[in-house]
C-alpha cells in the first residue's frame, strides 16, 4: 500500500508500449469510451493497488 499525505498513487494497467509513449514521449492516454464502461467514459486507475492494475493489464493482453 502507498500512503503519503497529499499524494495519491494511481496505477494504470497498460503494456510497456503505452508506458514508453506516455512517460518517455509525452503522449496522452486515450479515454475509454466503451458501452460497458460502468463508471462512464474516461481513463481508469487503481488507487494504491499496483497488483490489481497488473492483473488487469495481463488479462486485457489475452
Based on its alpha-carbon atoms, the radius of gyration of the chain, rounded to whole angstroms, reads 13
Residue 2 pLDDT:
61
User: How many domains, the chain?
Assistant: 1
- Sign of the dihedral defined by the CA atoms of residues 24, 58, 40, 8, in that order: negative
Assess if residue 22 is contained within a domain: yes
Residue 40 belongs to a domain: yes
Q: Which residues of the chain have pLDDT under 70?
A: 1-4
pLDDT given for residue 39 in this prediction: 87
**Structural domain containing residue 42:** 10-61
pTM across the whole model: 0.62
Tell me, letter by letter, the H, E, C secondary structure of the chain: CCCECCECCEECCCCHHHHHHHHHCCCCCCCECCCCCCCCCECCCEECCHHHHHHHHHHHHC
CA atoms of 21 and 56, how far apart (whole Å): 20
Amino acid at each position: 500500500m502507498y500512503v503519503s499525505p497529499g499524494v495519491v498513487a494511481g496505477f494504470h494497467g497498460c503494456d510497456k508500449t503505452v508506458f514508453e509513449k506516455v512517460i518517455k514521449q509525452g503522449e496522452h492516454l486515450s479515454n475509454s469510451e466503451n458501452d460497458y464502461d460502468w463508471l462512464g467514459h474516461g481513463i481508469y486507475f487503481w488507487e494504491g493497488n499496483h497488483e490489481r492494475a497488473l492483473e488487469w493489464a495481463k488479462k486485457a493482453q489475452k
